[in-house]
Amino acid sequence: MNLREAEAVIRETLDQIKKHEIELHQGCVACHVIFSITQKSGRSEQDAADLMSQVLTGDPELNSELIETVEQIHMTERNMGCVFAARERESKDSYLEAYFANVLDELASDLKHATHDVILRKLLLSYMSLYLAQTIGVDYHAATEELYYLLRKDDGKNSKIAYLIAKFEEKIKKQESGMR
């Protein structure tokens, strides 16, 4: 599937979602678009996500259409993030940019004050919390609490996280030694 074909699938899927011709069953708009590309192209979900990202990066109008659809479904129709959804686009952009800067500042501070394994664990747990929030349909904080509950309940999960971090570190060391 080339970029033009992927763009057509994205537009068609967004149109169907906006007209409620597709039932999302509390699922994610963006994920459904990726699944549509996956089904129609035979690519993996990761390749479909990369293709969607490429198309949206090259077409700011379609990118805006996607985010408007996400906001309409996820925030307005599902009454999630209503305050954010009610803002004008310029205000939304300012809000997003401010929080983007905050995240980068927090990570920069972590780089100064924490060890790399602590930072990597923090990023990994954030990813897991976000994934849980999207999957089970709760907000990020609730998902984080569910994750921490699971980690407290079963220390073997912490061992798996530590193992994954060790594997990341091995890979980084291999790449660094290969660059010399």
- Sign of the Cα pseudo-torsion (120, 124, 125, 129, in order): positive
According to the model, what pLDDT value does residue 159 have? 93
Q: Which of 35, 63, 83 is the last residue of a domain?
A: 83
Q: Are residues 171 and 95 in the same domain?
A: yes
Q: Which of 83, 100, 129 is the last residue of a domain?
A: 83
Q: Are residues 118 and 71 in the same domain?
A: no
Q: Are residues 101 and 59 in the same domain?
A: no
Q: Are residues 39 and 20 in the same domain?
A: yes
Q: Are residues 58 and 101 in the same domain?
A: no
Q: Which of 67, 83, 99 is the last residue of a domain?
A: 83
According to the model, what pLDDT value does residue 165 have? 92
In terms of residue numbers, what domain contains 73? Answer: 3-83
Q: At residue 124, what are phi and psi to the nearest 5 degrees?
A: -65, -45
Q: Are residues 43 and 95 in the same domain?
A: no
Q: Rounded CA gap, 33 and 44, in Å? A: 13
DSSP assigned state of 36: H
* Length reported for the chain: 180
Q: How many domains does the chain have?
A: 2
Render each residue's pLDDT in the chain as its tens digit; 180 residues: 999 999 999 999 999 999 999 988 878 888 899 999 999 999 898 899 989 999 998 898 999 899 889 888 887 888 777 778 888 999 999 989 998 999 899 989 999 999 888 899 999 999 999 999 888 877 777 788 889 888 888 889 989 999 999 999 999 888 888 876
> Reduced to 3 states, what is the DSSP secondary structure of residue 139?
coil
Q: Are residues 79 and 94 in the same domain?
A: no
Q: Are residues 106 and 155 in the same domain?
A: yes
- Sign of the Cα pseudo-torsion (157, 162, 164, 165, in order): positive
Dihedral angle over CA of 141, 146, 148, 154, nearest 10: -170
Q: Are residues 171 and 112 in the same domain?
A: yes
Q: Are residues 52 and 96 in the same domain?
A: no
Q: Are residues 113 and 64 in the same domain?
A: no
According to the model, what pLDDT value does residue 88 have? 92
Q: Are residues 97 and 175 in the same domain?
A: yes
